[in-house]
Structure formats: C-alpha cells, structure tokens
Amino acid sequence: MIMIKEYRSLGESLYIETLDNGLKILVSVKPGFNSKTAFFAVNYGSVMQNFTLGEKLIKSPAGVAHFLEHKLFDNPDGSVDGAFALNGASPNAFTSYDMTAYHFDCTDNFDANLSTLLSFVMTPYFTEESVAKERGIIEQEIRMWEGRMSSVNLSNLYSCMYENHPVATPILGTKQSISEITADTLYTCHSAFYNPSNMALTVAGDVDPQAVFDAARALTPAGFAEKALPDYGHPEVLAPIKSRVTKDADVSAPQLVFGCKVMPKEGSALLRASLVSEIALGAVFGKSSPFYTTLYKSGMIRVGFSSYIDYLPGTGMFLAGCESPEPDRVLESFAQTLQNIRENGIDKRDLLRVKAATYGYKLRSLESFDSICYDLADAAFCGYEPLSEFALFDSIDSDECSRFICDNILSDNLAVSVLMPKSN
C-alpha cells in the first residue's frame, strides 16, 4: 500500500511503499528539477563479518562487503558502467561500516538506468579468476589506506578502544583477510544480505513514483527471504582496553585523535541522540566556541579540531582530533571544558547559534539529491521516520545537550592516539 507523507514546512513530498518481498521504497518527488538520483542500498557493511542465517553461524573474512561492492559491477557481458554511460548516467557505489549503496545520477533515461541499477545489484556473477584479479586492485587500495597517516592514527585509536567489535577492522579489510575471500564467499554473503527485505530503494527527482514501484516489483526477487542476523562479538565495556598509544610516524607535526565508546541507540532514540550530539558538540567544541578560538589563537590547533559521535550497529563512539604542537595541552583544555560543562552547563547563546546553523545546514541538504537518498535509506535501516529530525529542533535545549555530554563523554573512558614526527 502506497503511503504519501507531506512535509509542508519543508516543501517535501514522500511516496513510500514496502513490497511483498520486504523491499522498502521511498521516493522524494521534486517537480520541475531535471536531475534524478536513485540509491539501491543494502543494510550490510564492514562490521557485519560474522552472522547467523537460519541456525548456521557463518564467519566471513574482513572486507567482504567492500569486495562485493567492487565485483557486482562486473557481469558476463562486461562492466555495467557501459550500460549506464549509454543512457547518460553517472554511477557509483560506496561501502561504510553499516551500509553498501549503489547509485546513479542522470537527467534523461531514468527508467532505463533504474532498470540497470536494480538488475546488476541483484544478479551476482563471480569467478575465481575475476576474484583473484580484483584482489590485486583492492590490495593497492589497502596500501594507499595504510599510507595515510590519518588512517594509521585512527586504527591505533580503535586498537585502544575496542576488544571485540569489528569496527576496529578497516572497511577494506587487510591483505591477509582479502586473500581468504573466494567466489563462494561472495555468493554466500550476497545471498545472506542482498535480499529485498534487507534493502531499500530511494529516489529523488521529478519522477513517477508508481513507475519506480512497478520497476522494483518486476526486477527484484519475489517472496520474503529470511534475514541474516549479524554478530558483533561480546558486548564492549565503556572503558578502553588501553588509555594511550604514541608512535613515531612520517608527519610534520604531532597528530592527535582521541575518543571513547558510548552506548548504542536504535530507532527514534538514535535520531534524537545523533541530532543532540551534533548541536552540543558544535556549541562546545565548534569553530566559534571558546575552546576552539582560545586554542587556535595560542597556536595549539594548527589544522581544525573536529569532534563527532557516530552510532553504529552494536556500538557508538565519540571521536575528536587535530594537528597540534602540544597534544597534551589540547587534552588538558578538553578536560577543563568538560568540567566546566558539568558545573555550569552549555551557554544558551552558543547553543541557539549552533542550533540555528545546524537547522540551516540540514535544510540546504534537501537540495542535494544524493544527501536526500542517503538519509532516506539510513532512516529505513535504522527504524525512524524520514525527515522527522526537523521537528525535534524546538524541543532540544541547553540542559539536554549538557546532560548528553556529561553522560556520554567521560575523561576516564577516553583513549588517546598520537603520531609524533620521526626524529632524525
């Protein structure tokens, strides 16, 4: 049954349907726009290495989700890029910790491009020869990733924070883990996760929603398939395994990252916590905050300080970092700022300014079809109502934001990773 949701204050109209096979479809109709975007997303990312299907526990090597993303673009007739190019579309894909998505942008031939998208994602074709060839390409990606000092520093931090959760393993996997991936591995994981009940199709543009629903119904498997149940390992305690690691590296100035685990969230609680954290951290540690301006003027922050909370299946984490000649002074200032919040709360004027800026940013993101499609898929997988965060702004105040920081970011739970310039 088709549901139509009107968000009059936002000028948005959503057409929503869940097919009999479980596929969730959300279409944001944009009258008068030439551009059209479609996302075909899978609730499957790099942290879903081990899973149960039926009564069988399956352990897959790290990096399979990303490997699958690469290989699905190949079919018996060659790469699907050519089919998109013939119809004037620009395709792409990505794999994150918790999602894999295949998408395209076009102005013309939307129906033909949508058919290509739906068909190739649902039609796996792997051979041992093609897997071996792809393995070499992904090994190059891994070497590039390992050569980025920001990646190395973050990996060092995760090794301090996590004991069991697979988020500590790179999305690409490792050279060892991808050497264990075979064509059978890819077929097994595609069958487990790439079923319509574990997927979402999201579209933005001046399109006919009924035509989208009809195409999805015709080009995805019929029947409701059983979902795989991911296993994220033994639950983590909030305290880190190790409080600090410092290593020499090829950097021109010390690189600091630090963070802590936070309790995971689901559904509407996840949406609210994500928005509250974005506003609270912006007010306390953003570029207009006393914390940032003081450290920047004193030269303690050379390359921008970033801070955010990321919620993933089975875990959540606060992360922050910057380039600084004296990382310990940054950490001391951070701890002092946390203490000040506990004693005095967040300044209401700072919060109002950041809240208004955040609302404006999110409103502008509705002009980006890629952002809309991603957000709609994320809402479908995480279990909250699409575009509902705009209604939350008025109810978020400085007291809630202060409590959020005090409850989630505890100095005793922080882990720290520092890369120091090699001395000659």
Q: Which residues contact 404 (CB under 8 A, 6 or more apart)?
A: 273, 276, 277, 280
Tell whether the model's pLDDT for residue 408 goes beyond 80: yes
Task: Render pLDDT for 304-347 as a digit per residue (tens, 0 to 9).
Answer: 899 999 999 999 999 999 999 999 999 999 999 999 999 999 99
Q: Tens digit of pLDDT for each residue in 188-237?
A: 999 999 999 999 999 999 999 999 999 999 999 998 888 899 999 899 99
Over residues 57-112, the pLDDT tens digits come to 999 999 999 999 999 998 877 779 999 999 999 999 999 999 999 999 999 999 99
Mean per-residue pLDDT of the chain: 95
pTM: 0.94
Report in angstroms the alpha-carbon separations of 185 from 49, 191, 306. Answer: 11, 10, 38
Least confident of 32-41, 78-87, 292-301: 78-87
Q: Which residues are 18's β-sheet partners?
A: 24
Distance CA 342, CA 344 (A): 6
- For the segment 265-285, the average pLDDT, to the nearest whole number, is 97
Active-site amino acid positions? 69
Q: What pLDDT was estimated at residue 223?
A: 87
Q: Is the pLDDT of residue 31 over 80?
A: yes
Domains of the chain: 3-231 (3.30.830.10), 244-421 (3.30.830.10)
Percent helix, strand, coil in the chain (nearest 5)? 45, 25, 30
- Residue type at 244? R
Full DSSP string of 109-131? -HHHHHHHHHHHHT-----HHHH
Give, as one character, the DSSP assignment of residue 261.
E
Residues 83, 87, 90, 96, CA torsion sign: negative
User: In the prediction, which pLDDT does 424 show?
Assistant: 53
Nearest to 283 by CA among 304, 263, 260, 307: 307
Q: In 3D, which of 343, 365, 340, 353 has the Cα closest to residue 286?
A: 353
Give the mean pLDDT of 384-405. 96
Report the C-alpha gap between 137 and 63 in whole angstroms. 13
Q: Are 405 and 318 in contact (CB under 8 A)?
A: no
CB 37 within 8 A of CB 369: yes
C-beta atoms surrounding 47 within 10 Å: 24
Between strands 199-205 and 24-29, the pairing is parallel
Widest Cα–Cα separation across the chain: 69
DSSP per residue, 160-219: HH-SS-GGGS-TT--HHHHTT--HHHHHHHHHHH-SGGGEEEEEEES--HHHHHHHHHHH
Tens of pLDDT, residues 364-375: 999 999 999 999
Dihedral sign of CA atoms 54, 57, 60, 62 in order = positive
